[in-house]
Chain A
Amino acid sequence: NAGVTQTPKFRVLKTGQSMTLLCAQDMNHEYMYWYRQDPGMGLRLIHYSVGEGTTAKGEVPDGYNVSRLKKQNFLLGLESAAPSQTSVYFCASSYRGTGNTGELFFGEGSRLTVL
């Protein structure tokens, strides 16, 4: 099992460009999340999904859109990138069901720089 895979791992954008980060998980998890991490800020939740076809806002959703068309994939989109979106982005997934530990499984991160 690959677990949680994020692509791309690195990307440089110019202000105003758009891009999509892809998160894929092979653990059949219902829940998926996108976090961003900035120096000294810890991880902040951007958007999350509790199942295929559903999305919801987290702590810092502005400037981002997400889609969950397939259970195994969770896409994070930046329609018009801004320098403030320079960050490391982490995707995570978790199982939903009785008896689960609530453990989140994280990807290795995607480093995005907006010039």
Chain B
Amino acid sequence: DAKTTQPPSMDCAEGRAANLPCNHSTISGNEYVYWYRQIHSQGPQYIIHGLKNNETNEMASLIITEDRKSSTLILPHATLRDTAVYYCIVRVAIYYGGATNKLIFGTGTLLAVQP
């Protein structure tokens, strides 16, 4: 699976959009981009994933560049409860026999939402 690069930390004002970048320059054509977050001491929580189209759900939006070498997770209106470590992960599709669905986590970005 391709490696990812994220900034170690970011700040965001409460109520503003938080834009978290991720570089994955060695991503392969069949690898998806996943985002998880981990609020202090809790288990990681799935946020969103995508292949090449932009995706949006009730939690966030995922913008993937046309060359798929980078992506941005957008939290449209950050709250104090969004303070967490955000992990960007790329991995192969899990629809094939033998695929394990395992995810390799890096160290992520610590997003601090300021009041």
Could you list which residues of chain A lie within 8 angstroms of chain B, going by C-beta atoms? Answer: 4, 31, 33, 35, 40-45, 48, 50, 56, 58-59, 88, 90, 92, 94, 96, 98-109
A-B contacts at CB below 8 angstroms, number: 65
A100-B94, A102-B34, A102-B94 given; name 15 further pairs at CB < 8 Å. Answer: A42-B106, A42-B108, A43-B44, A45-B104, A90-B43, A92-B43, A94-B101, A100-B95, A101-B46, A103-B46, A104-B46, A104-B103, A106-B45, A109-B41, A109-B43
A-contacting residues, B89-108, CB 8 Å: 91, 93-95, 100-108
Given the complex of chains A and B, what is the CA–CA distance between A4 and B94 in angstroms? 21
Could you list which residues of chain B lie within 8 angstroms of chain A, going by C-beta atoms? Answer: 32, 34, 36, 41-46, 49, 87, 91, 93-95, 100-108
Nearest chain B CB to A30 CB, angstrom units: 9
Given the complex, which residues of A lie within 8 Å of B91, measured CB to CB?
102
Given the complex, which residues of A lie within 8 Å of B36, measured CB to CB?
104
Q: Which one, A35, A48, A98, A106, contacts B95 given CB within 8 A?
A: A98
Q: Which of A40, A94, A101, A102 has the most CB of B within 10 A?
A: A102
Q: List 30 A-B contacts (CB under 8 A).
A: A31-B100, A40-B107, A41-B107, A42-B87, A43-B44, A43-B87, A43-B105, A45-B102, A45-B103, A48-B100, A48-B102, A58-B102, A59-B104, A88-B41, A90-B43, A92-B43, A94-B101, A96-B94, A100-B95, A102-B49, A102-B94, A102-B101, A103-B49, A104-B46, A104-B103, A106-B43, A108-B42, A109-B41, A109-B42, A109-B43
